[in-house]
């Protein structure tokens, strides 16, 4: 039985698009059953709707408090019978009540090699720190911002002439490959949250780290693709 995935977005939704595309493969172990945004005018929401997906805006303006908003979100996730909730550029912090209720079933993608560079502006932060590699992480969501047990990471090189835009573009390409593969691991039960760690089963070390080729800005996903059944 395919796992039912609901995607939460706030903006353009390119990672959402990568998940939708992956779910189009008949062999994919998950199906996208809905997209929810906290911004009514999010470009990704219109895109998902035009693809025939069920969409819903649940915005702060409509609720008296963050708690009330998250109660509405919880009700919607329950109504959609979500097995897995994927944050894909969902730019607000969930309340502890929600993260605790959905613990082990909510994951997020963040554009840095966590625990480095939480929050915004990660590409400038990586450049300012003089990093030679940068990347993205998929992690289970806990109470804190951009923290929680890491499922999978992808690394990309930082080129000498990079600026934040060129680096962001390279990381985003890695995100689009990493997120579907990480959701696949979770959907298959191969990556599970246990306390503060992710327990992997049936996955080699190469399955959770996508590393750059020596002179390339592409990540090597072949090894990860091989471990799916
Ligand atoms: C992505 O880079 C994602 O990693 C980041 O927002 C962008 C959303 O782009 N998320 C965070 O920074 C979470 N802290 P998208 O809407 O095109 O997927």
User: Could you give the strand order of the β-sheet that contains 209-210, starting from the edge strand earlier in sequence?
Assistant: 55-57, 30-37, 3-9, 84-87, 106-110, 133-140, 150-157, 209-210
pLDDT for the residue numbered 203: 80
CATH class of 3-226: alpha beta
pLDDT at residue 129, rounded to an integer: 98
Low-confidence ranges of the chain (pLDDT < 70): 204-229
Q: In this structure, how many other beta carbons lie within 10 angstroms of the beta carbon of residue 91?
A: 12
pLDDT of residue 122: 98
Ligand 1 pocket check for 135: Cβ under 6 Å: no
Domain ranges of the chain: 3-226
Ligand 1: residue of 89, 123, 134, 172 to mutate (most ligand atoms within 8 A of CB) is 89
Q: What's the pLDDT at 215?
A: 33
Ligand 1 centroid to 134 CA: how many Å? 15
Packing angle, helices 14-23 and 43-50, rounded to 10: 20
């Amino acid at each position: 039985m395919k796992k039912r995935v609901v995607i939460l977005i706030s903006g353009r939704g390119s990672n959402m698009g990568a998940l939708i595309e992956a779910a189009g493969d008949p062999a994919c172990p998950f199906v996208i059953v809905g997209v929810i945004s906290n911004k009514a005018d999010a470009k990704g929401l219109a895109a998902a709707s035009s693809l025939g997906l069920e969409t819903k805006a649940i915005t702060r303006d409509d609720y008296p408090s963050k708690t009330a908003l998250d109660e509405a979100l919880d009700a919607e996730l329950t109504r959609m019978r979500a097995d897995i909730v994927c944050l894909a550029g969902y730019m607000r912090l969930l309340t502890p009540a929600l993260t605790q209720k959905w613990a082990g079933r909510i994951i997020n993608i963040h554009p840095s090699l966590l625990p480095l560079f939480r929050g915004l502006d990660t590409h400038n932060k990586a450049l300012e720190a003089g990093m030679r590699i940068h990347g993205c992480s998929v992690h289970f969501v806990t109470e804190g911002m951009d923290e929680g047990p890491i499922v999978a990471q992808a690394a990309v090189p930082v080129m000498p002439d990079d600026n934040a835009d060129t680096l962001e573009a390279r990381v985003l390409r890695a995100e689009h490959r990493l997120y579907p593969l990480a959701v696949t691991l979770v959907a298959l039960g191969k990556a599970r949250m246990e306390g503060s760690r992710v327990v992997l089963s049936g996955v080699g070390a190469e399955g959770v780290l996508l590393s750059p080729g020596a002179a390339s800005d592409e990540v090597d996903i072949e090894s990860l693709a091989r471990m799916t059944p």
